[in-house]
Structure 1
């Protein structure tokens, strides 16, 4: 089974990966001999979020994308508890193990895909399976929760202002806990007008939007991610550290994920790079060349440093 893409190397090869009762639709493109980069989309997108990015990576990298559970061609569990971050991370790791069992992969993730990837890279054994992680428009919820708690315990006008600004920007996540209404608004009102919504919210060319045929269902179903994780993770943040090299692509015009939410990420990540992109929230659509370039540069740098460390250890 294949699906058409803009990739000059031809159509994607579509397969499935099973994680327990969940089947994930996985798509392979690009250079089969290059390093493997796994792309993880967020809400309410599918793997098509990356259609502008993939052609820019395809000549150098083997590119894997997939529909996360509850979206696109993948399984759609019905229970809210089926969308806990720890389960979403096992989906990602199942894809990693299936597509690259013998070599660690590089991750690029957006929005909820970033939250899922953070959960994976902060898990035991991540270093041997994930070589690097580039995150755009997505925190580790636990890191964000600790930042908020520390800021409010030692309040300053600037610090409290930042927390309140992020709370205001994310207030929709609170509203998503109201029964029934969010599913109707996102699935029946916003999703059918997705290009217009992106034009208003992100000031981007609506022609760049890539809504899937399942966007109405995916938008409504994706509310379960918020209900399963937001209050628990922010209210009871865990200690989550990682030795996986991480690059933050901080979108300076993002209205949902404000840049100062990453101020303390360095305390949790041993090897952190912060790169700013003059983009709104949906940078993989509006600023695909920037996202692809910074990701490729980071992957190449991590590979070069790993090779240098290996050579030094062999001496």
Structure 2
């Protein structure tokens, strides 16, 4: 059953809970251009052992879809996550599992002040902290030829980010089906998104990318973190996700076969790693 949770600015979010509420809580945050259905296979694998929470982020699924780009700033997204945690686990820290833009916003939340003390562990897939990514890119310029090759490869795979900054043209590409066909050609695990999710979610890029990359901050977290980096991710290469030990001292890295949409193509693998970290964190 879907319940409604209202964020600080009045945005209503669609939230679904599965599994026993007395078990450890695992909150799953999807990315772009997906909705909470991305996690269906993972939920099926974990709901017997954990209290698993999924929700549609603002702009997607059954949640509200603000029209202003500023409504999609990372600070607003962090407020959404905080509101969900307040609703589903007000008295106990939660474990977090996120993918793509869900990972980006969860990084922002756990390295900020709003969720300090609220996170018990974090599993990130194919979505770096934007501040970490910007600093990683700067470091590659100064680190020699092999590092520069890593940077150039990532920039080539991130060209769509510049395209998404253009007014109206990305919307037209989604409506025409061109973007869906291109994404599917690059990654067979991609599925056709709901068109409103794809259109409204463009604001994520327009509100945040240039802002964060122009002035990256040294964002740090001390909670246990694991990064699952698919080896064949055509959009987010493993190095930009994993070169973060400077800011994440309690870090585990898993490089696994698969493409960008690992939660959909290999849900049992994602569920296994997430459960392992939850149990490790609980044993502490």
Question: TM-score w.r.t. structure 1 length?
Answer: 0.86
Deviation at 1:219, TM superposition (A): 0.3
**Structure 1 position 202 matched with structure 2 position 187:** yes
**Structure 1 position 22 matched with structure 2 position 15:** no
Contact preservation (8 Å) 1:84, 1:229: yes
Question: How many correspondences in the alignment?
Answer: 283
Question: Mapping of 1:1-315 within 5 angstroms?
Answer: 13-19=1-7, 20-124=9-113, 126-152=115-141, 154-190=142-178, 199-204=184-189, 209=191, 215-305=194-284
Deviation at 1:197, TM superposition (A): 5.9
Deviation at 1:122, TM superposition (A): 0.2
What runs of 5+ residues in structure 1 fail to find an aligned partner? 1-12, 306-315
Contact preservation (8 Å) 2:228, 2:253: yes
Contact preservation (8 Å) 1:183, 1:221: no
Partner Cα separation in structure 2 for residue 199 and residue 155 of structure 1: 34
Partner Cα separation in structure 2 for residue 100 and residue 90 of structure 1: 15
Structure 1 vs Structure 2 CA RMSD = 1.6
Contact preservation (8 Å) 2:42, 2:271: yes
Contact preservation (8 Å) 2:238, 2:255: no
If you compute each CA radius of gyration, which structure gives the higher value, 1 or 2?
1
Partner Cα separation in structure 1 for residue 89 and residue 236 of structure 2: 31
Contact preservation (8 Å) 2:98, 2:124: yes
Partner Cα separation in structure 1 for residue 14 and residue 242 of structure 2: 35
Contact preservation (8 Å) 2:15, 2:55: yes
- The SS at the match of 1:134 is strand
CA deviations over 1:225-261 (Å, ceiling 9, x no partner): 0011111111210110011211101111100000111
Contact preservation (8 Å) 2:13, 2:64: yes
Question: TM-score w.r.t. structure 2 length?
Answer: 0.95
Partner Cα separation in structure 2 for residue 122 and residue 183 of structure 1: 32
Asked which structure has the greater RCO (Cα within 8 Å, sep 6+), the reply is 2
Runs of 4+ aligned residues of structure 1 deviating over 4 Å after TM superposition are 196-199
- The SS at the match of 1:266 is coil
What runs of 5+ residues in structure 2 fail to find an aligned partner? none
Contact preservation (8 Å) 2:2, 2:15: yes
Deviation at 1:32, TM superposition (A): 2.3
Partner Cα separation in structure 1 for residue 272 and residue 230 of structure 2: 15
Contact preservation (8 Å) 2:35, 2:60: yes
